[in-house]
Amino acid sequence: MRRIVASVFLSVCFWSAASAQNYYSAGEFGLSAGASQYFGDLNDEYGFKYIRPALGGFVRYHLNPYISLRGSLLFTHLGYSDNLSSNPYNRKRNLSFQTNIYEGSIQAEFNFFRYHTGELDSRFTPYLTGGIGAFYYNPYAFYNNKKYYLRPLGTEGQQAGINGRSYSNFSVCFPIGVGIKYWLRPGMNLGIEISDRLTLTDYIDDVSTSYVGSDKFPTDPKNPNPGYVLQDRSIEIDANNPLGRAGKQRGNSSTKDQYMMLLIHLSIQLKTYKCPAYMNAVLEYQ
């Protein structure tokens, strides 16, 4: 008889747990897709002329209905070219770059409203997000249809001991942004977010300080040194009056490079069901 009574109570408990008000979120996992744009020495006008796809995945843990933590892995492609600029100096400078970005980050989300998947009164909320991350980059450019990685060339004299040592392929970023999230059905969430990545490097584009002079890049006219060619490409615009004189400004080292991402998040929420208080008593009764 005890087992029959206990079974009835347990059935009621689990039926009750199936309703939206009787579970809490232990966390969720999802996918992100969107686009990115670089800002820096080659895009100092903050234009959006080189937007590229961004993809990734994430896990999110809800501390409460107002605060969540999110860990993300993202991939995107950045690039820009001086020929996209309206600045005459930039166009004559004639530099360009591309790079893949592999990023990992941890962010906090601060909801404006109570947000709890399954609760009809907590269906959506705007939110702020901020955090810290790290990313890998390796800028390259093309010359005569051939791809050259720029860091090993030391285009600002790094290999000659000028303008410091060669920069690292890794740097830190600080994602800061806003978004809105909405649950489509209990356990399924949709979000859209725009966030800027402030970084600690000025070399995503391989441009930061000044020209060091073509004499720092010995070359053979029959077999040109890639460093000689790619450190000053203004010669391709005006061979009689190139920009690359030693000490002349090549970039702006007073600001760091950035990149922005617009992402759509789709996630599946993991749920842990909670039963009424009499659950333990029923188990003991059994």
Which parts of the chain are beta strand (E)?
23-39, 52-64, 67-81, 96-111, 124-136, 140-143, 146-149, 170-185, 188-199, 258-273
Q: Give residue 25's pLDDT.
A: 57
Predicted confidence at residue 243, as pLDDT, reads: 94
What pLDDT score does 118 carry? Answer: 83
Distance CA 17, CA 26 (A): 15
Whole-number pLDDT of residue 269:
87
Give the CB-side neighbour count of residue 247, counting CA atoms within 13 A: 0
Which residues, 6 or more positions from 279, have their beta carbon under 8 angstroms from its beta carbon?
9, 10, 13
Distances (CA, A) of 267 to 34, 60, 74, 83, 135: 15, 9, 15, 40, 23
CATH code of residue 120: 2.40.160.20
pLDDT at 283: 41
Q: What pLDDT score was predicted for residue 17? A: 41
Task: Give the model's pLDDT for residue 119.
Answer: 87
Q: Domain range for residue 28? A: 2-285
> Total structural domains in the chain?
1
Q: What is the pLDDT along the chain (286 residues), one digit of tens a residue?
A: 555 544 544 444 444 444 444 445 568 999 999 999 999 999 999 999 999 999 999 999 999 999 999 999 999 999 999 999 999 999 999 999 999 999 999 999 999 999 998 889 999 999 999 999 999 999 999 999 999 999 999 999 988 777 778 999 999 999 999 999 999 998 899 999 999 999 999 999 999 999 999 999 988 888 889 999 999 999 999 989 999 999 999 999 999 999 999 999 999 987 655 544 444 444 444 5
How many whole angstroms separate alpha carbon 165 and alpha carbon 148?
Answer: 20
Tell me, what's the pLDDT at 277?
42
